[in-house]
């Protein structure tokens, strides 16, 4: 048996319930992992609210770290006793232990602790596919400007550091002076408080009127139009979340009028399409973290049984860095 957080219907944090469920044995291609720490992410709120529908009842959580307890037939990259971490479908990491597909579970280097791993797998792999794979048609070179919204969050603080490591000039946006200072301390060249400044005007001023090559936007409808106005000709608008709600429909001709722009709605799990792709991305993440180029900062911890309070804090945007649940 294992304590597990599930929902029976979509709604606010009040629909989260902690139940004691049987875990069972792994089948072919599966492992059983006992969690030491669990990552909290905005996608969990989308699942809980019904924005991203699940077959109900369903456990939540996409990210975790712990120890492999059992290995199913056909799994060769993991063994009982291995330290492991993952970002993976289907949801279910909000638990003391679970059986899950092994494809996206990676052996964790000894140098990386469980809380660090739980706070970095989904967020760090997201930063990896954005900065390394989600690129404008002209590519990104040292010295290029990029704009990253919500840069003081879990993904954002990793992206600030990774962009600096790559030689990119990252413009961050955040919702308070303190969050802006945090983004700059983690590698952003400039941070814009979107509550007190017009981020479009500031971006144009910083780039000499040209704009940035890429906007990485997890905010959604509140920033979408302004983000398009920040792009240089042939620039890429990379949407990867909907924290303020989904972007309303718009005419593709807008992209032409604003400079032959490109638009993508990227998702992590398209990139984690195979064991080999997952491991290659994880290896790059492990390397930048182990080298110290990217530091994972776990700023908030909640017991698993207080998950509703953790969701409220995340949605109120009072968290920074990574948040973990402790089973």
- Reported as a single tens digit per residue, the pLDDT across 143-191 is 999 999 999 988 999 999 999 999 999 999 999 999 999 999 999 999 9
DSSP reduced 3-state for 230: coil
The arithmetic mean of pLDDT across residues 277-303, rounded, is: 96
Average pLDDT, the chain: 96
CATH number at residue 236: 3.40.50.720
Q: Is the dihedral of CA 311, 314, 319, 323 positive or negative?
A: positive
* In a domain? residue 127: no
The answer to whether residue 25 scores a pLDDT higher than 90 is yes
| Interval 200-252: pLDDT, tens | 999 999 999 999 999 999 998 999 999 999 999 999 999 998 888 889 999 99
Q: How many CB atoms within 10 Å of residue 28?
A: 9
pLDDT score at 318: 86
Judgement on whether residues 23 and 48 belong to the same structural domain of the protein: yes
Predicted confidence band at 70 (pLDDT cuts at 50, 70, 90)?
A: very high
* In a domain? residue 226: yes
pLDDT score at 195: 93
Q: Residues 6 or more apart from 174 whose CB is under 8 A from it?
A: 150, 151, 152, 156, 180, 182, 183, 191, 192, 193, 194
* In a domain? residue 47: yes
Judgement on whether residues 197 and 282 belong to the same structural domain of the protein: no
pLDDT score at 82: 98
The arithmetic mean of pLDDT across residues 69-77, rounded, is: 97
Rounded distance between C-alpha atoms, residue 154 and residue 166, angstroms: 19
- For the chain, give the percent of residues with pLDDT over 90: 93
* In a domain? residue 161: yes
* In a domain? residue 187: yes
The arithmetic mean of pLDDT across residues 23-43, rounded, is: 96
Q: How many CB atoms within 10 Å of residue 208?
A: 8
Q: Of 218, 240, 265, which residue constitutes the final position of a domain?
A: 265
Q: What is the DSSP string of 52-101?
A: S--PSSEE--SEEEEEEEEE-TT--S--TT-EEEEE-SSP--SBSEEEEE
- For the chain, give the percent of residues with pLDDT over 70: 100
Predicted confidence band at 289 (pLDDT cuts at 50, 70, 90)?
A: very high
DSSP state of 233: E
The answer to whether residue 320 scores a pLDDT higher than 90 is no
Judgement on whether residues 214 and 282 belong to the same structural domain of the protein: no
Rounded distance between C-alpha atoms, residue 267 and residue 270, angstroms: 6
Judgement on whether residues 172 and 275 belong to the same structural domain of the protein: no
pLDDT score at 158: 96
* In a domain? residue 128: no
Which residue would you say has higher pLDDT here, 113 or 322? 113
pLDDT score at 308: 97
The arithmetic mean of pLDDT across residues 117-138, rounded, is: 96
pLDDT score at 135: 98
Q: Of 265, 281, 312, which residue constitutes the final position of a domain?
A: 265
Judgement on whether residues 198 and 281 belong to the same structural domain of the protein: no
Decide if 100 contacts 125 (C-beta within 8 A): no
Q: Give kind and range of the element (H or E) at residue 192.
A: strand 190-193
Measured CA to CA in angstroms, residue 5 lies from 60, 125, 126, 188 at distances of: 6, 24, 24, 36
* In a domain? residue 210: yes
DSSP reduced 3-state for 37: strand
The arithmetic mean of pLDDT across residues 90-112, rounded, is: 97
Judgement on whether residues 173 and 287 belong to the same structural domain of the protein: no
- Which structural domain range is residue 248 located in? 135-265
Decide if 136 contacts 234 (C-beta within 8 A): yes
Rounded distance between C-alpha atoms, residue 244 and residue 213, angstroms: 23
CATH number at residue 66: 3.90.180.10
* In a domain? residue 42: yes
Least confident of 55-69, 91-105, 195-209, 307-321: 307-321
Q: Give kind and range of the element (H or E) at residue 162.
A: helix 154-166
* Region of residue 17 (phi > 0: left; psi between -120 and 50: alpha; otherwise: beta): beta
Predicted confidence band at 47 (pLDDT cuts at 50, 70, 90)?
A: very high
Overall number of domains in the chain: 2
């Amino acid at each position: 048996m294992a304590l597990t957080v599930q929902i029976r219907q979509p709604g606010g944090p009040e629909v989260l319930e902690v139940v004691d469920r049987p875990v069972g044995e792994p089948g072919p291609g599966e492992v059983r992992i006992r969690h030491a720490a669990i990552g909290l992410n905005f996608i969990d709120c989308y699942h809980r609210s019904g924005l991203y529908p699940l077959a109900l009842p369903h456990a939540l959580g996409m990210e975790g770290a712990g120890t492999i307890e059992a290995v199913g037939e056909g799994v060769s990259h993991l063994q009982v006793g291995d330290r492991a971490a993952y970002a993976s479908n289907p949801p279910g990491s909000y638990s003391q232990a679970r059986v899950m597909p092994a494809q996206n579970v990676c052996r964790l280097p000894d140098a990386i602790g469980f809380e660090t791993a739980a706070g970095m797998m989904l967020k760090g792999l997201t930063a990896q596919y954005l900065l390394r794979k989600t690129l404008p048609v002209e590519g990104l070179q040292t010295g290029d400007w990029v704009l990253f919204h919500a840069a003081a969050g879990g993904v954002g603080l990793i992206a600030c550091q990774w962009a600096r490591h790559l030689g990119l000039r990252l413009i961050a946006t955040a919702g308070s002076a303190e969050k802006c200072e945090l983004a700059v301390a983690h590698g952003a060249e400039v941070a814009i408080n979107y509550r007190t400044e017009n981020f479009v005007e500031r971006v144009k001023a910083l780039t000499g009127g040209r704009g940035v090559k890429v906007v990485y936007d997890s905010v959604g409808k509140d920033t979408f139009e302004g983000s398009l106005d920040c792009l240089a000709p042939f620039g890429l608008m990379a949407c990867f979340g909907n924290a303020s709600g989904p972007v309303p429909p718009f005419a593709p001709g807008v992209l032409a009028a604003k400079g032959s722009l490109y638009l993508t709605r990227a998702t992590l799990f398209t990139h984690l399409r195979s064991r080999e792709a997952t491991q290659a991305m994880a290896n790059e993440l492990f390397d930048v973290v182990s080298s110290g180029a990217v530091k994972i900062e776990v700023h908030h911890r909640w017991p698993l049984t207080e998950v509703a309070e953790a969701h409220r804090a995340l949605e109120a945007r009072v968290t920074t860095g990574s948040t973990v649940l402790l089973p």
